[in-house]
Amino acid sequence: MSTTALRPTRGTSRWEAQRSFDELGRPLRDLTFCVVDLETTGGSAEAGSMITEIGAVKVRGGEVLGEFQTLVDPHTEIPAFIAVLTGISNSMVRGAPSIETALPAFLDFAAGCVLVAHNAPFDVGFLQHFAKQQGRAWPKFEVLDTAKLARRVITRDDAPNCKLSSLAKLFNASTTPNHRALSDARATVDVLHGLMERLGGLGVHTLEELQTFSSKVTTAQRRKRHLAEGLPHSPGVYLFRDDRSRVLYIGTSRDLRTRVRTYFTSSETRTRMGEMVGLATSVTGIECATPLEAEVRELRLIAEHKPKYNRRSRFPEKVHFLKLTREAWPRLSLVRKVLDDDADYLGPFSSKKTAEKCLAALHETFPVRQCNGRLPAAPSRSACVLAEMGRCLSPCDGSTDASTYGAVVRQLRDTLLRSPHEVVEAINQRMTALADRERFEEAGVHRDRLATFVRAAARTQRLSAVTRCPEVVAARREDDGRWSVHVVRHGRLAAAGVIPPGADAHQYVRELTASAETVSDAPGPVPAATAEETEKILRWLESPGVRLVDVDGEWVCPIGGAARHLAIYDAANQSRLSLVPFDEQRLPSPVHRSPH
C-alpha cells in the first residue's frame, strides 16, 4: 500500500483556464477532489464480488497533492475471466492487505474531498458495501461521476462513446487507461479537468453549478407545460406529436400527467428531449389498466410508429437467429426468420455481430460442417481447410459416418436447448491456457464469445419456457391493495385488468380470460410477440408477490440450463462498465438552443 505526495506535474495548465470563476457557491478551483478507481473480482459486491485493487489521486486547482495505490487480497480465487480483463492474477494479490486494512487507509486519504469516479455508482457502491460490512460509518462524501458529466458535454462528433479510454484520448490524457486502478484514476483526473474546461465555457464555475448543469431547461420548454394538463393521473402511454401529428416520442409512466409535466421542468435532464419538446405541439395519453400493459403497449407503438426520438425498440424485426438445420448432415446457419421446419433455433440476437460471436463459440466446441448448402446422404466432395485443421468432421469426403456425426449433432442440440456445459468447459479451458501464457488479447476474444453464447442460451431457454404455454394467468396485489391480473398466451400479453373493490375475483378472472386476445402458436422461442415484450412479461411473472392463477401447459426451464452460468459473465461485464459506461445513453449535443 502506498500514499505519495507529488509535485504538481499534471493538469496545471488546463486548470489555469478556470482562474476567472465567479465567486458564487464553492469555486471548483478551491475544492479538493479524490479521484478513485477499483478493480474487482466481479460486478456485484452484494453477490460476493471482492475488491482486488484501489487506486486514487488527490487533486486541487490542477495540482496533484498525492496518490494512493494498493492491491487487495480478496481471499478468494480470481476467476480466469476476470484475470483476462484486469491482468491481476491470484499470485499478485497473495499477501496484499485485506479490505479490512485497505478501506480505512483509503478513507483517511480521501477525507474531506469530493469523491470522483468514472461510473461512480460502481466504485462507490463497492466501497459503501464494505464500509457497512465492517460497521464503519460512511463519510458524507459529495460524489461526481465523470461518465455522467461526459454524457451532458461530449457529442458524437467529439468521441464515439463515453468510455474512459475514448475520453482519455479526446482530452490527451497523460496516462492510458489499462484496467489497473491507479492508471485509470490518473486518466480520470485528466478527463475531469478536460470536462471542467469545457463546462467553464458554458458558465459552470462552482460545484453547485456543476451538480445542476444537466438540469437546465429552456424557457421555451417551460412554456409548454399546458400540454400535460389534460392527461390523467393513471398508468399509461404518452405520445408527443409535432404540428403535422407525426409521433416524435413515446414513453410510459405509472402517472401520465406527472411524468409528462417533467419534460417542461428542471426534472428533465436529457438534451435530446429538450430538442424534441421544442418540436412538440401536443401530447396524447393512452390509459392502461396496469403498468405492465403500459410497458407492452409502449413497445408495440414504438415498433409501429418508429419515432425519431426513441432510441430503442424501433426495429424489433431486425433480429437474427442461429439455426441447427434438420437434414442428412446438419449444420449451424445464421438466419433472419424462424420457420416451421422442425429445426432448433437460438436467439433472437439484436445484431449480426453478436450472433456471429455466438456461432464462433459453438464452432470452436463442435466440429460440425461450416459449408453452405445441403449435402447428399453419401457425399463425395473434397475436404476443406477446416477439415485439415481438425475443426470439422468432414462428412463431405467420407471422413466420418452418419452415426458419429449424428452423436456430435445431438450433443450440440442438447447444448442449445438444455445444458451449455460442453461449450463453457471447452472455452474456459482454452481461455485459461491463453491467460497463463499472458496472451490476454486472444483470451479476451474467447471470453466475449463465451459470454455471448451463455446469455443467448439463457435468453432462449427462458423465452421458450413461457412461449410454449398456451395460456398463463397470474395476479399480484398492488400497493393500493387491489389485484392486477394478466393473461399471457404464448408469451404475448393477451389481456390486463384490475379487480374492482367488492367484485367476485373468480368471476372477474373468468370474464377477463374469455375476452382476452386470441393468440395462435407458431414455431420458435418468440412466436407470438417480440423478445422484448416477452421478457417484460417474464420479469413481472417472476417479481415478488405474483400468484399463478392458471397455467395451460408446462412452464419449466432446464435445471442445468445456461441461466446458472450467467452470474460470472454478467459480473465481469459489470466490471467492464467502469471503462464502458452507458454508451446507448449518449446525447447528440451538449446544450439545447432554441431557434432564433
Catalytic residue set:
179
Residue 518, φ and ψ in degrees, nearest 5: -80, 125
**CB-based contact 190:231 (threshold 8 Å):** no
Strand-pairing partners, residue 115, are: 34, 143
Helix 440-467 and helix 352-365, axial crossing angle in degrees, nearest 10: 100
The DSSP secondary structure of 237-283, one letter per residue, reads: EEEEE-TT--EEEEEEESSHHHHHHGGGSTT---HHHHHHHHH--EE
- Half-sphere exposure in the Cβ direction for 276 (13 Å, CA): 27
- Burial of residue 389 (number of CB atoms within 10 Å: 0-12, 13-18, 19+): exposed
> Beta strand 63-71 with 236-241: parallel, antiparallel or unpaired?
unpaired
Question: What is the spatial distance between Cα 137 and Cα 121, in angstroms, rounded to a whole number?
Answer: 18
- Which of 424, 388, 392 shows the shortest CA–CA distance to 405? 392
Tell me the three cell numbers of residue 297.
403497449
Strand-pairing partners, residue 345, are: 323
> Beta strand 332-335 with 51-60: parallel, antiparallel or unpaired?
unpaired
Residue 12, φ and ψ in degrees, nearest 5: -65, -45
3-state SS of 347-407? Answer: EEECCHHHHHHHHHHHHHHCCCCCCCCCCCCCCCCCCCHHHHCCCCCCHHHCCCCHHHHHH
Question: What is the spatial distance between Cα 419 and Cα 432, in angstroms, rounded to a whole number?
Answer: 21
Q: With the C-alpha atoms ordered 90, 48, 181, 153, is the resulting torsion angle positive or negative?
A: positive
Could you identify the residue written with the cell 479451458?
Answer: 429
Question: What is the spatial distance between Cα 393 and Cα 397, in angstroms, rounded to a whole number?
Answer: 10
Q: Which long-range contacts (CB under 8 A, 24 or more apart) does 194-201 make?
A: 194/14, 194/167, 194/170, 195/146, 195/149, 195/150, 195/153, 195/154, 195/171, 196/15, 196/18, 196/28, 197/14, 197/17, 197/18, 198/153, 198/590, 199/149, 199/153, 200/17, 200/18, 200/21
- Which of 317, 352, 292 shows the shortest CA–CA distance to 535? 292
Question: What is the spatial distance between Cα 414 and Cα 242, in angstroms, rounded to a whole number?
Answer: 52
The amino acid at 38: L
Question: What is the spatial distance between Cα 535 and Cα 465, in angstroms, rounded to a whole number?
Answer: 11
